[in-house]
């Protein structure tokens, strides 16, 4: 059945091409005719611009005066030239010269070598209207003027028409054909009748390991790698799966936050698969012309079926896979592209070994028909890495980095909870750049911690001038955060660093908190402790100065967000109980909530949120008033040093000398590097239960990730 149909399809394609080609060629001819006519028009206008019309009486006077040299008697007029040095030529040249500005005259003289007058006289031709005058010919004979018309034969006329019209058209057609072929060959078209590759898929094809990325370059996503390794094994060894009756999955959807490594994982698949790998972005299908996207989908799957077994990777598939909802107006081009994609996913035989991979960070907007089994059979979640994943990722990114002896990637992984792979790669690179700036040959622990700080807060603004009152208010604000966090040891993260040095990302100061262990669940007490810590800065301002500043804006925003989630999503409200009042709209992007309740309920939610915040605010004020003396001591020490560690703050609380904090607590501070070495051996992974030594590096110039805002509080 397949044999007879194939030639038929080929014949149809050939017939289609034959039909398209003449239309394209006709278009080229028409364009050539238009261009030649425009060219002739321009030539004629240029010729007319050097022709001066005169009255017949003036022409006869010039003949009688002996000025006229030659006369061409045409049907549309008498064209004549005058002798050199005669008044008509001189007057014409003077008139043209006087109409020009001095700058224009100087320009023409420089271009014509100072012979502008002579050039004007040589280029002019006079014309007058033909008048029936039987005395003109005798007068021309008497004045010895050459006159008459040139006899033109039919052959000469045809040759003139050929040279002036037909030949330029032919030359223009040939030139346009070659240009058209060259341009559209570069664009991937298929001849003159094509549309210049508009409907051709421009997917990049990787064969074998040309991407330069393998699974060894991907860390922290073991579950995703396992799922993809099974697909790759199916392509290489289909027999052991078909033997039991298993079918190859048609597609797998990679979902997760930005920066987690979806595209990197797809490139690693290309490096491991040893089969052709088609990589294309969803935006490459979308054009302003309706039907182009669908044509590109057809072309992509056609090419893939020829090279089966193979893998097709569509990045940012949400561009073409959005839900077909016409409530707000549809998009015909995108919907046609999606419909064609659905048809292709249903149409090809899974036994051929064509696997479709899609990547998106907006799975909630995808059409349900695209997600059903039989199209994308698997959804592979690539989430933020856990502690073991972050450690493995740091090991990957530091493979080619010279590391000092004091580097402890365990502590860096512990401090970067919530960071994705892209954040960790940027952190390592910033640390390497800092080491070069400091003149070192290797990256030490301090470089990693300082780059951590640089990523979240930016560099120090050393030129910022603050008043003494502003410094005092900032110092008490940050110490308020740290002191309240300290007295909530069971629920709040320990303080690592306090600074009142302004930074480039808008922070006039900040308090860095590093977790002692990774948490996957937050209890109600943990959330309330976090709110108290956030509001403690404003509470310190009220306790000490009896006033409020604008520095607590970010703290208030984050505290309100936590309290609202407690009421609407976590079921931690006495009034509403375990009632879901909101949903997350983009879980992998901004994480914003959308209320799913009545307006009266929304007003009640605001009251509950206000109650939680007021209660936590009162708790923070009470804690600071109870330890007012410590608040003053730590704030004074911070004003003196501008930046202190958590160990120094603990030393003041315990009544010890903060200057000796490093000596008294040697376990809290990393020892200086004694020697430089290359770290080639892998760093041991943490225990399976996630228990690692607590990070208490109080002397670090720490950084935190934008994705982990609960580790740092700044204003």
Catalytically annotated residues: 478
- Whole-angstrom Cα distance, residue 4 to residue 92? 81
CA angle (394 as vertex; 391, 400 as ends), nearest 5: 140
| Segments in 50-166 forming alpha helices (H) | 56-64, 87-99, 102-111, 116-123, 136-142, 154-161
Closest by alpha carbon to 456, among 389, 554, 534, 588? 554
Closest alpha carbon to 90 in 100, 82, 80: 82
Is-contact 457 503, C-beta < 8 A?
A: yes
**Alpha carbon 541 to chain centroid, angstroms:** 43
Residue closest to 621 by CA, chosen among 543, 511, 530, 529 = 543
What is the distance between the alpha carbons of residues 450 and 670, in angstroms, rounded to a whole number? 14
- Token pair, residue 298, equals 């057809």
SS3 541: helix
- Say whether 381 sits in a helix, a strand or coil: strand
Question: What percent of the residues of the chain are helix, what percent strand, and what percent coil, each to the nearest 5?
Answer: 55, 10, 35
Residue 85 CB coordination number (10 Å): 9
433-694-432 Cα angle (round to 5): 5
The neighbouring-strand residues paired with 714 are 510
DSSP per residue over 641-672, as a string?
Answer: HSEEEHHHHHHHHTTS-GGGHHHH-GGGSPPP
Of the candidates 323, 318, 437, 448, the residue with the CA atom closest to the CA atom of residue 394: 448
- The CA–CA distances, whole Å, from 679 to 257, 394, 398, 438 equal 31, 12, 9, 20
> How far apart are alpha carbons 93 and 107 in whole angstroms?
16
Q: Which DSSP category does 162 fall into?
A: I
Q: Which helix (H) or strand (E) holds 127?
A: strand 125-128
Give 555-563 contacts, CB < 8 A, sequence gap 24+.
Answer: 555/713, 555/715, 558/534, 558/709, 559/530, 559/531, 559/534, 559/535, 559/613, 559/616, 560/609, 560/613, 562/527, 562/530, 562/531, 562/534, 563/531, 563/609, 563/612, 563/613
Tokens at 325, concatenated: 């909802």
Vertex 426, ends 420 and 430: CA angle to 5°? 145
Map tokens 């031709």 to a residue.
125
Contacts of 327 (CB under 8 A, 6+ apart): none
The span from the CA of 664 to the CA of 301, in Å, is 68
Of 454, 397, 453, nearest in space to 421 by CA: 397
Are 228 and 311 in contact by the 8 Å Cβ rule? The answer is no
């Amino acid at each position: 059945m397949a044999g007879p149909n194939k030639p038929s399809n080929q014949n149809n394609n050939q017939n289609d091409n034959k039909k398209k080609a003449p239309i394209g060629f006709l278009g080229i001819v028409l364009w050539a005719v238009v261009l030649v006519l425009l060219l002739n028009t321009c030539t004629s206008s240029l010729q007319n611009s050097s022709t001066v019309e005169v009255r017949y009486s003036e022409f006869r006077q010039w003949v009688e005066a002996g000025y006229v040299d030659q006369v061409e008697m045409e049907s549309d007029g008498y064209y004549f030239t005058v002798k050199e040095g005669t008044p008509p030529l001189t007057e014409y040249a003077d008139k043209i010269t006087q109409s020009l500005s001095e700058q224009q005259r100087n320009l023409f003289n420089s271009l014509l070598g100072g012979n502008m007058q002579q050039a004007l006289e040589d280029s002019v031709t006079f014309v007058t209207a033909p008048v029936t005058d039987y005395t003109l010919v005798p007068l021309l004979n008497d004045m010895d003027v050459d006159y008459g018309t040139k006899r033109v034969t039919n052959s000469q006329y045809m040759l003139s028409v050929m040279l002036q019209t037909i030949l330029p058209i032919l030359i223009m057609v040939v030139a346009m054909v070659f240009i058209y072929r060259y341009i559209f060959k570069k664009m991937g078209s298929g001849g003159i009748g094509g549309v210049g590759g508009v409907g051709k898929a421009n997917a990049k094809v990787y064969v074998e390991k040309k991407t330069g990325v393998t699974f060894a370059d991907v860390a922290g996503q073991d579950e995703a790698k396992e799922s993809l390794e099974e697909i790759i094994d199916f392509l290489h060894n289909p027999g052991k799966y078909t033997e039991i009756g298993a079918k190859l999955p048609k597609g797998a959807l990679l979902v997760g936050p930005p920066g987690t490594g979806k595209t990197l994982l797809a490139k690693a698949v290309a490096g491991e698969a040893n089969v052709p790998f088609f990589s294309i972005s969803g935006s490459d299908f979308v054009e302003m012309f309706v039907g182009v996207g669908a044509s590109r989908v057809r072309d992509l799957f056609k090419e893939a079926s020829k090279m089966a077994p193979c893998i097709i990777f569509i990045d940012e598939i949400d561009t073409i896979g959005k839900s077909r909802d016409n409530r707000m107006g549809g998009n015909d081009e995108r919907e046609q592209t999606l419909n064609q994609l659905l048809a292709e996913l249903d149409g090809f035989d899974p036994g051929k070994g064509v696997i479709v991979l899609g990547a998106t960070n907006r799975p909630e907007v995808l059409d349900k028909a695209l997600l059903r089994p039989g199209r994308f059979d698997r959804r592979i979640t690539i989430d933020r890495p856990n502690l073991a994943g972050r450690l493995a990722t740091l090991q990957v990114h530091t493979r080619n980095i010279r590391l000092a002896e004091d580097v402890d990637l365990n502590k860096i992984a512990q401090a970067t909870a919530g960071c994705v792979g892209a954040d960790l790669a940027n952190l390592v690179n910033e640390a390497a750049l800092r080491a070069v700036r400091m003149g070192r040959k290797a990256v030490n622990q301090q470089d990693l911690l300082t780059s951590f700080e640089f990523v979240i807060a930016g560099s120090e603004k050393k030129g910022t001038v603050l008043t003494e009152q502003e410094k005092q208010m900032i110092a008490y604000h940050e110490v308020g955060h740290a002191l309240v966090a300290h007295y909530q040891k069971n629920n709040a993260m320990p303080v690592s660093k306090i600074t009142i040095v302004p930074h480039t990302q808008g922070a006039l100061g900040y308090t860095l908190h590093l977790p002692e262990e990774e948490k996957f669940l937050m209890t109600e007490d943990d959330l309330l402790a976090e709110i108290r810590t956030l509001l403690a800065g404003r509470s310190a301002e009220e306790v000490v100065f009896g006033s409020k500043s604008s520095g607590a804006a970010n703290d208030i925003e984050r505290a309100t967000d936590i309290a609202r989630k407690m009421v609407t999503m976590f079921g931690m409200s006495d009034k509403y109980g375990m009632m879901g009042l909101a949903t997350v709209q983009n879980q992998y992007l901004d994480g914003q909530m959308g209320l799913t309740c009545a307006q009266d309920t929304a007003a009640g939610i605001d009251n509950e949120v206000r109650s939680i915040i007021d209660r936590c605010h009162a708790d923070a004020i009470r804690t600071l008033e109870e330890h007012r003396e410590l608040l003053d001591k730590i704030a004074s020490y911070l004003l003196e040093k501008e930046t202190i560690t958590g160990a120094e703050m603990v030393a003041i609380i315990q009544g010890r000398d903060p200057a000796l904090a490093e000596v008294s607590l040697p376990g809290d501070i990393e020892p200086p590097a004694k020697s430089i070495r290359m770290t080639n051996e892998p760093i041991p992974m943490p225990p399976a239960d996630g228990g690692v030594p607590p990070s208490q590096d109080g002397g670090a110039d720490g950084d935190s990730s934008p994705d982990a805002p609960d580790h740092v509080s700044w204003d």
